[in-house]
A and B are shown apart, each in its own frame.
Chain A
Amino acid sequence: MAKYAIRRLLALLPVFLVVTVIVFLLIHLVPGDPIDNLMRSGSDPAQRDALSRAYGLDRSLVEQYLAWMGHLVRGDLGTAIVQRRPVAELIGENIGYSLALGGLALAFSAIVGIVAGVTAASFQDRVADRALMSLALVGSTVPSFWLGLLMILFFAVQLGWVPVSGARHWTSVILPATTVGLAGMALVARVTRIAMIETARQDFVTLLHAKGVSRFTIQTRHLLRHALVPVLTLLSLRIGLIVGGSVTVEYVFARPGLGSLLIRAIGQRDYPVIQGSLLMLAIAVMLGTLVGDLLQAAMDPRQREDDRS
């Protein structure tokens, strides 16, 4: 298992390299540059050139990329051009908010989704099942953006239970996390339900019943364990969407975080900040997916490659 984990981690290295190239090119190919945001219009072109040279922006893209990578491998993300602070510091200030939001959204998708799916499967084709699955259908089709706004109106404005925006109180994370995690939750519920029902048809489950194991134990211990395999696949695929969703939702809810940092930096063409925060988001997706795969392999003995007999 440990060998498998290390092999999977090493396999991410080339992916990481490609990601750095994309992250770098994405912003450098967009018109405009950070100097525009430092100077007023109509200021001295000579001064502009001097600044450009100072930040190395006059060099070729390849040279700039190599310079950035050179610092990166030494753990240096550079200094923000417009905000004039180390990028690592900016990321450090914001990453906690994003981890809280993304982690909570993921946990919400997983926990509520699995509980709903198991409940629906236990009441297959009865009222509780029909009701839960209708809700799940609505949850996975309604645009989360719109739902987020509706929830702000109802829970924050109408009922005043949670703050409308910002991140001053811990309850402020509830609505954004629900918004980001809702679609995933609905999908997880549906996948859990169908996997439980499919597994229940297998011979070994008949034999579990024949052994005198109770229905409840079969559902919660045996069937659920099998259902978790596709659910984990789904969740590790959702991580990218959750990270992406968090970026827009941070903006909608005016929350600090990597997404807000990124969007502000894009407006300012603050290259080092954009590259640094995009890289963090990409790493989150890669590691999240890796952890999902490893958990799945740990659960299913048939997938463990170094499991010798």
Chain B
Amino acid sequence: MLTVDDLEIGFSTLHPLAGVDFSVARGEILGLVGESGSGKSMTAMSVMGLLPLIGGRVTRGSIRFEGEELTTLDEARYRRLRGGRIALITQNPMTSLDPMVRVGPQIDQGARLHLGLDARAARIRTVELMARMRIPDAARVYDLHPHQLSGGLRQRIVIAMALAGDPELLIADEPTTALDVIVQAQIVQLLVELVRERDLALMLITHDMGLVAQACDRVAVMYSGRIVESGPVAAIFEDPRHPYTRALIGCIPRPGMAEGTLAGIPGTVPSIADLPSGCRFHPRCPMAVAACRDRVPQTVAVAADHGVACLLAGAASGDAP
């Protein structure tokens, strides 16, 4: 359904994405995972065609949606796609809704724009959709303002808003990061159910490998603007080939662990203004050899639908931590 191929984006001279490849099929949940700063949100903004909004542009590669090239699509047609066929859910439900507008009409907007419903029909549909999001007393909540709702309820509103235009592809950018653990689980379960019952495609962006294991079918691991490993969730967890993937799996958050740290691997994602040569992970990689500093690793298939971009991919096989 969605195929991203060698995508590079630019902000003046900086390139937050430098050759990103992945694809999502209908009915599939793809986890896009990586530490903060690796370029996940940039990928989401690229697919939504919203880079110009933050001052960026696609400089290379392609984004194909149902066979249609999006990188060269004109704005008027892109607008019909947004909300109508591809929808976005953002991280922070406290800031994702217009504080001055009642929540119901914020959901209506999508149905009115993309399904051509009038105000009354849109309202009826919105209340149904809100009830489907397990929002109690939906008809009353329709008329409330965002500040009168809890974070969990607001995120359900944001999801309803995304579904209002009946999209086929859902991009959820860390949809649960800002919520507490119990609400997180409920929201993830809701998203999975919606994907199954509506045969959607979901791109679930997260930095939490535990969430990937729990909810996703396939996973693409991102580091510093590149996909370093991708494949079916089972294959990746059984046989992770990239040292970064292993570190991520090793750092599935457990109680008592400092947030955002990689087990055994200190440091952070490099700044896009000061990128290391060769493999961008080599300064932090416990297995790096001299060649890693000079050669950019190409993605190689180590199994069917399992690709790794690591010079040591073959050698590293089988000695998972």
Contact = CB atoms under 8 A, between A and B. Distances in A.
Given A302-B147, A309-B144, A213 B100 contact: no
B87 interface: yes
A113 to B, nearest CB: 21
Interface string A81-106: 00000000000000000000000000
Contacts of A208: 98
B96 interface: yes
Contacts of A206: 50, 53, 88, 90
Nearest to A203: B95
Given A207-B158, A210-B88, A222 B98 contact: yes
A297 B100 CA distance: 11
A49 interface: no
B134 interface: no
Most buried by A among B50, B92, B145: B145
Contacts of B101: 222
A207 B79 contact: no
Contacts of B109: 211, 213
Interface residues of B, number: 34
A214 interface: yes
Nearest to A228: B100
A31 interface: no
A301 interface: yes
A58 interface: no
B98 A204 contact: yes
Given A204-B95, A302-B147, A214 B100 contact: no
Q: Classify chain A: how many residues form its interface, as a range.
A: 20 to 34
Given A210-B82, A212-B165, A225 B110 contact: no
A141 interface: no
Contacts of B99: 204, 300-302
B279 interface: no
Given A207-B158, A209-B50, A302 B88 contact: no
Contacts of B87: 210-211
Nearest to B147: A302
B82 A203 contact: no
B114 interface: yes
Interface of B: 48, 50, 53, 79-84, 87-88, 90-92, 95-101, 109-110, 113-114, 144-145, 147-148, 158, 161-162, 164-165
A306 interface: no
A211 B48 CA distance: 10
A246 B201 CA distance: 64
20 contacts: A203-B92, A203-B95, A207-B96, A207-B158, A210-B48, A210-B82, A210-B83, A211-B82, A211-B87, A211-B109, A211-B113, A212-B82, A212-B165, A213-B83, A213-B109, A214-B79, A225-B100, A300-B99, A300-B100, A302-B99
Given A210-B162, A211-B82, A212-B79, 4 more contacts: A208-B98, A210-B82, A210-B88, A222-B98
A309 B161 contact: no
B143 to A, nearest CB: 10
A206 B53 CA distance: 8
A41 interface: no
B145 A301 contact: yes
A249 B311 CA distance: 79
Helix, strand, loop or mixed for chain A's interface?
helix
Contacts of B144: 309
Interface string A209-223: 111111000000010
A213 B110 CA distance: 8
Nearest to A207: B96
Nearest to A304: B145
A211 B165 contact: yes
Interface string A164-205: 000000000000000000000000000000000000001110
A207 B234 CA distance: 33
Nearest to B97: A204
A73 B147 CA distance: 44
Nearest to B82: A212
Contacts of A207: 88, 90, 96-97, 158, 161
A202 B96 CA distance: 8
A203 B41 CA distance: 12
Nearest to A225: B100
A209 B90 contact: no
Which 7 pairs show the lowest CB-CB distances between chains A and B?
Answer: A212-B83, A309-B148, A210-B88, A211-B83, A203-B95, A212-B82, A301-B145
A204 B96 contact: yes
A212 B98 contact: no
A126 to B, nearest CB: 14
Contacts of A210: 48, 50, 82-83, 87-88, 162
Given A202-B95, A299-B100, A300-B100, A212 B90 contact: no
B147 A301 contact: yes
B147 A212 contact: no
A80 B162 CA distance: 69
